[in-house]
Amino acid sequence: MNKKSIILKDLVNFGKACYGNSLIICGGGNISAKAGSKIYIKREGVSLQHAAPRDFMPISIKEASAVFTGNFRPSKEFRMHLACFKVRPDIGAVIHTHPVFSTAMGNASRSLLKDFTYELKYTMNSEVPCVKNIEPGTGVLAEEVGKKIKNANGVILSNHGIVTVGKTLEEAFNRNLALERAAKVYILTRILRFIESKT
């Protein structure tokens, strides 16, 4: 199996894992992996739950402002993915999902410290900043995420979800899981402390 086939297989498997772990529902989320000077990213209109290798298309990392027409267009967040790869030449994968607790954190404009939970400390190894509410799929959002991800391995998007990066898809996926779990722990802890303060 050649490198391209391996990457496409991994994209399919980790995309399904995102769905299976409730990081996304319906057709939400997008995932990409680097292969030399280009990335493979999910096509627009395809659910990661049912995606096949043919549903991931190549884009040059230099094509941040490209316009795509016809039946094969990349995910609307391709600019955000490319922005991550441009500022982080050390990474090989980007995963964007819409998990419940992390999205709630974003709606409250909350960031997470890198050592908030054991898993976050040893998978993320960076603070997780929050990006303000910006229209999805825009160059403005891509630019803001690029600024934050330059010094972080994950960001929370207000009213939108999270983005994690990694040297591999597995690393980016594990960071996604760890971030969502930390957000859940944070919110439940705040609720319990509030209840205790009232008793």
In this prediction, residue 67 has a pLDDT band, given cuts at 50, 70 and 90, of low
84 CB burial (10 A radius; 0-12, 13-18, 19+): buried
Q: Would the pLDDT of 1 be above 90?
A: no
Is residue 66 predicted with pLDDT exceeding 60? no
Q: What is the pLDDT confidence band of residue 199, given thresholds at 50, 70 and 90? A: confident
Tokens of 82: 């490319």
Residue 128's CB: how many other CB atoms inside 10 A? 28
- Of the pLDDT bands very low, low, confident and very high (cuts 50, 70, 90), residue 70 is low
Q: pLDDT band at residue 106, thresholds of 50, 70 and 90?
A: very high
Radius of gyration of the chain (CA): 16
* Mean per-residue pLDDT, 85-93: 97
Say whether 58 sits in a helix, a strand or coil. Answer: strand
Q: Give the pLDDT band of residue 180 (cuts 50, 70, 90).
A: very high
Q: What is the pLDDT of residue 27?
A: 85
Which residue ranges form the domains of the chain, and what is each CATH number?
3-197 (3.40.225.10)
Please check the confidence at residue 68 and state whether its pLDDT lies above 90: no
Cβ–Cβ under 8 Å, residues 130 and 155: yes
pLDDT of res. 126: 86
Instruction: Give the full edge-to-edge strand order of the sheet including 154-157.
Output: 56-60, 38-42, 30-35, 93-97, 161-166, 154-157, 130-131
186: three-class secondary structure by DSSP: helix
CB atoms < 10 A from the CB of 192, how many?
A: 10
The token pair at 90 is 């050390």
Q: Compute the distance between CA of residue 185 and CA of residue 151 in angstroms, rounded to an integer.
A: 24
Q: Which residues contact 161 (CB under 8 A, 6 or more apart)?
A: 28, 29, 96, 97, 98, 99, 102, 103, 106
Task: Report residue 69's pLDDT band, with 50, 70 and 90 as the boundaries.
Answer: low
Helices (H), 42-168: 78-87, 100-107, 118-123, 139-149
Residue range 18-63, pLDDT digits in tens? 999 999 988 889 999 999 889 999 999 899 999 999 999 999 988 6
132-144 tens-digit pLDDT: 999 999 999 999 9
Which of helix, strand or coil describes residue 72? coil
Rounded Cα–Cα distance for residues 145 and 150 (Å): 8
Q: What is the mean pLDDT of the segment spanning 61-81?
A: 77
**Mapping DSSP to helix (H, G, I), strand (E, B) and coil, where does residue 69 land?**
coil
